[in-house]
A = this chain, B = another copy of it.
Amino acid sequence: MAKIVAMEVRDVRFPTSRDLDGSDAMNPDPDYSAAYVELHTDAGPDGYGLAFTIGRGNDVQAAAIRALAPHVVGRDVPEDAEALGALSRALVGDSQFRWLGPEKGVAHMAIGAIVNAAWDLAARRAGLPLWKFASRMTPEELVSLVDFRYLSDALTEQEALDILRAAEPGKAERIAKLEAEGYRAYSTSAGWLGYSDAKLVRLAEQAVADGFEMIKLKVGGNLEDDVRRMKLARETVGAEIRIAVDANQRWDVATAVSWMTALAPFDPYWIEEPTSPDDVLGHAAIAKALAPIKVATGEHVQNRVVFKQLLQANAIDVLQLDAARVGGVNENLAILLLAAKFGVPVCPHAGGVGLCELVRHLSMFDFVAVSGSDSDRSIEWVDHLHDHFTDPAVVRDGRYLAPTAPGFSARMHDATLRRFSFPDGPEWTENAQ
């Protein structure tokens, strides 16, 4: 049996704040970063995973991953659901480490990075892209991966099995459809808050020309600016293209309602992160007040327990899972099952570092094996930093192509790891301020 013989963790940072890529009302100057983990084995391929951060504190995130090495190093290379479930349970169940969360923040993102690296490893060994590797598992195997603790008042093991069994017919057809047509994307590239009106218009026109059916604007800095930008965007793309807006947690409940009421004449499709990601009841109040404008959140939702409540409280119309915020594929499977149970579409958060690469696997797996549907679903697309990955996400005519390379696509090029290593890589030493 091949073994994991070492775990290497790197602090990798991209100086995105220099161009205001990724700027929004809450995060004006992000340096998109990754705490990057490599699982080295004594035979066969290695495994790759990451936690995404936006700069300062990426060293803390890396330290948290390193602290979990004793659970990983010396372990047999995971090849199946049983091993991937056991690893996840060992990490989440560490009786001392869990105090740091539990199941949230730095500690939980560290678990997610390792769990995702283990899935990458398993999929590489199987010679399959992750979405196909997971889709090949039986309903019983998939259910064995999920931690149902704290979920049973909303989703039982039996209900999860029923959902997965209902998705069994038609799997092959859906795989063929993905391979032929890909999966719908939407574009955030036009809408960063730091961009000028002219750049917004140019990029919005480009997005429509590129085949996207929805674009997204950042809002929440200044109401007059937002009304002007939203009007401009609507005039640019016309009535048929959806425009989502994203407040990145800027508002209290009453402000969210009044601000969005001012934007309502321009037909926003969803309001994303209107308030604190921890505020289930706040999102519920906002959703009730703003319907039919949809409410979306998820990139900062810490775990399945909060997603469960958002669904129980009818607080979200769109669930935006994140590949690197929660405890990895295992917990995202729980989240996909919860969304399917409540009939809420999943439109993953992406962008950042590697998130587009990762979430396409999760949405395609959802379509094949969980919800069985792609209607009203799309994956965020932000067109930067993809060149740094060995298996980059590719979007054509507004659709993500189905990845074909074995694994979970988090691997970066060696040259990238050297150049953007923080603080010692040449990108940082040569451009020191």
Residues of A that sit less than 8 Å from B by CB: 26-31, 53-57, 59-61, 63-64, 67, 94-109, 149-153, 249, 252-254, 275-282, 285, 300, 302-303, 305-306, 308-309, 312-313
A252 adjacent to B153 (CB under 8 Å): yes
Measured CB to CB, the nearest residue on chain B to A253 is B153
Q: Is the CB of B108 within 8 A of A150?
A: no
Q: Are B153 and A57 in touch, CB under 8 angstroms?
A: no
Instruction: State the CA gap A71–B191 with chains docked (Å).
Output: 31
6 more contacts with CB within 8 A, not counting A28-B95, A278-B303, A279-B308, are A31-B96, A57-B64, A100-B105, A105-B107, A281-B309, A281-B312
CA distance A207 to B203 in the complex (A): 70
Residues from chain B with a CB closer than 8 A to the CB of A57 are: 64, 67, 96-97, 99-100, 107
Query: In whole angstroms, what is the CA distance A54 to B107 when docked?
Result: 14
For A249, give the chain B residue with the smallest CB separation: B102
A305–B278 touching, CB < 8 Å: yes
The listed residue (B59, B64, B252, B281) touching A280 by CB distance below 8 A is B281
Contact yes or no, B60 A107, CB < 8 A: yes
- Residues in B neighbouring A302, C-beta threshold 8 A: 104-105, 278
Sorted from nearest, which 8 A-B pairs have the closest CB atoms?
A105-B105, A55-B96, A106-B106, A56-B96, A153-B253, A278-B305, A150-B276, A152-B252
Is the CB–CB distance between A150 and B275 below 8 Å?
A: yes
Q: How far is the CA of A153 from the CA of B61 in the complex (A)?
A: 33
The 6 sampled A-B contact pairs (Cβ below 8 Å) are A27-B99, A30-B96, A103-B276, A105-B108, A149-B252, A279-B305
A305–B253 CA distance with the chains assembled, in angstroms: 12
Q: Which residues of chain B are near A28, meaning CB under 8 Å? A: 95
- How far is it, in angstroms, between the C-alpha of A95 and the C-alpha of B60 when the chains are bound? 16
User: Nearest Cβ distance between residue A284 and chain B, in whole angstroms?
Assistant: 10
Smallest CB–CB gap between A387 and chain B, Å?
Answer: 23
